[in-house]
Structure 1
Amino acid sequence: MDKLFVQRLNALHYVYPKPLNRLSKLMADDEELEKLSRRSVLELAFLLNVKEQQAHDLKKAYTEALDIPFESLYRKYKITPISFLHPHYPKSLLELIDPPAILYAKGRTELLLVPQKIAVIGSRKASSYSRKAMDTILPVLTQHEFLIVSGLAKGADAMAHEIAINSGGETIAVAGSGFLHPYPKENMALNIIIEEKFLSITEYPPYMQPKRWNFPMRNRIISGLSCGVLVTEAQVKSGTLSTIEHALDHGKDVFAVPGDIFSGLSEGPHKLISEGAKPVWNGDQILDEYRQLRAEK
């Protein structure tokens, strides 16, 4: 990629960290963003569908950001920006309505190219039942070179990453904040291990703090990276099930662990099973599903 284009895209995303679909009109007649600094405020407001004042502020901030040495800045923090044109950018994310324009990565970016990825999700209040279920299911998957994707949140996410690592597998964490503001603090040690030995990614520039609305957006990336999604414990109304909605919208396989009928955390998986998700209680069931799919192809 042209270095000037990379600098312009980094500058734009730094001041306007929006998905690729929000930039499509802007880039329709200007794929290299060469015209951006010369566009009028009115034109910018129209193309980005924002108010004039916001367009004015954005143009000013963008012009100033063009002077930021992003390459050396990100290298200092061991961050690799992966734009939608980068060879390590997962093609499956381009199937989303709103693909990330840039993924910021820390760790082994080649893990994004692993074809067999399973997302593992569940409640932040997951009980020991989730850990027992994952201890039974995930080692079988990692032994067959499935990579485990999750969101680095408390509860089920942290369990999924830990069990993937402890079973000798690979894992990708999808964060809901910029790398200068790791979240949650409780998972700091796990976060460091993933950044150093595996891969952590986020669509948010380093300065972005964790905001409540970041996490539903984060969920579409977890689903988009994966060929299937495994749900352990989750309430019916939860962010976990919003990830499943993204998965179903894009034809992903959905697996759910049956649970205690007296537990509110079993209601989410049981609802999914009643709607067609495949109930699973060991890793071989998931492996068999993919063996069957490969055989049909």
Structure 2
Amino acid sequence: MANLTNEQLMKLHYILPLPWQKFRNLMTILNDFDELLHVSPKIVAMHLNIKEEKAIQLIRHYKELVPQSMNLYYERRNIQAITYMDKYYPKRLKHLYDAPAVLYVKGDIRLLNAPKMIAVIGSRAATNYSQEALKMLIPPLIDEQFVIVSGLAKGADRLAHEATIRYGGKTVGVLGHGFIHSYPRENRELSEHMASNHLLVTEYPPYAGVQKWHFPARNRIISGLSEALIVTEAALKSGTLITTELALEQGKDVFAVPGNIFSEQSRGTNKLIKEGAIPVWDGFQILQELQMFSNYR
């Protein structure tokens, strides 16, 4: 591959946050990203698979950023930008066909490459059933040094992060927006705590706001970082089920908590079990399954 610096990739990604694969396509015609200033927008558009108008904007904004230091910009905002080429970039995510070109993180960066990571997700309308289930699921995983990954959404995600913190574990929140924004509002205090004592991760530059299509995209990072996925509650039509599909595509084990057959929030998890997800009701079962069927040590 041609010469490419972290700074150059950070500038491009700040302007247009595309997956690594698309920027890699661009490198087939450039020796250096600064050559972008002298390439036809039509050619740039073709290699990035974007509209020519957007390519014109990209080139113009890149020229404006050339004299700037992105490292300094993020340092002042207490953000670490980790490019695909960085030594801290998680190897697990490099297996994704649409791996993020840049990750933006706040907190303990060591958690990004923790040897044991498992995702806990569920409904935004999670009931007390999820909270009670997590009392059985989380402590054994923490005792075995698992880092708990979730999406810092309201409902099951929040309960998973809070349970992990309460039982003395470490947790990673994967966001669907940039760090300038806080969403949902009721999780602001939890988010600030995790930014200081745990880890927040996003593929979106700081200015990127909340968009509904960001959340299905961020789900691939949740499942990509984790060696398995636990679902506490989920309705039949739920974004949670999208994440489980991604996890299965990535060859990950999916565990589901069986629920009341009359509960709307358990219909999705019960369906997952019918389709092959592993039913669990305590963390020791998960550890046993991982010992048998995965690379867990």
TM-score by length of 2: 0.95
CA contact (8 A) 1:256 1:280 kept: yes
* Matching residue of 1:17: 17
User: d(CA) in 1 for partners of 2:258 and 2:189?
Assistant: 31
Q: Shift in Å at residue 10 of structure 1? A: 1.0
User: d(CA) in 1 for partners of 2:92 and 2:31?
Assistant: 21
Q: Can you list the C-alpha shifts for 1:62-86, whole angstroms capped at 9, x where unaligned?
A: 1112233311211111100011111
* Matching residue of 2:229: 229
* Matching residue of 1:106: 106
1:65 aligns with 2:65: yes
Unpaired segments ≥5 residues, structure 2: none
* Matching residue of 1:211: 211
Q: Output the amino acid matched with 1:242.
A: I
1:39-58 alignment runs, 5 A limit? 39-58=39-58
Q: Shift in Å at residue 141 of structure 1? A: 0.4
* Matching residue of 2:163: 163
* Matching residue of 2:269: 269
Q: Shift in Å at residue 168 of structure 1? A: 0.7
Q: Shift in Å at residue 13 of structure 1? A: 0.2
SS in 2 for 1:82: strand
CA contact (8 A) 1:15 1:65 kept: no
SS in 1 for 2:5: helix
- Paired residues in the alignment total 296
Q: What CA RMSD, in Å, does the superposition of the two structures yield over aligned residues?
A: 1.8
* Matching residue of 1:285: 285
* Matching residue of 1:96: 96
Q: Shift in Å at residue 36 of structure 1? A: 2.0
Identity %: 47
SS in 2 for 1:106: strand
Q: Shift in Å at residue 5 of structure 1? A: 1.4
User: d(CA) in 1 for partners of 2:140 and 2:190?
Assistant: 22
SS in 1 for 2:139: helix
SS in 2 for 1:286: helix
* Matching residue of 1:123: 123
Q: Output the amino acid matched with 1:291.
A: Q
CA contact (8 A) 2:105 2:202 kept: yes
Structure 1 stretches of at least 4 aligned residues deviating more than 4 Å after TM superposition: 294-297
Unpaired segments ≥5 residues, structure 1: none
* Matching residue of 2:244: 244
* Matching residue of 2:260: 260
Change (3 A) 1:296 1:145: closer
Change (3 A) 1:258 1:89: same
Change (3 A) 1:141 1:60: same
Q: Shift in Å at residue 284 of structure 1? A: 0.3
Q: Output the amino acid matched with 2:245.
A: E
Q: Shift in Å at residue 37 of structure 1? A: 2.3
Q: Output the amino acid matched with 1:255.
A: F
SS in 1 for 2:216: helix
Q: Shift in Å at residue 295 of structure 1? A: 8.4
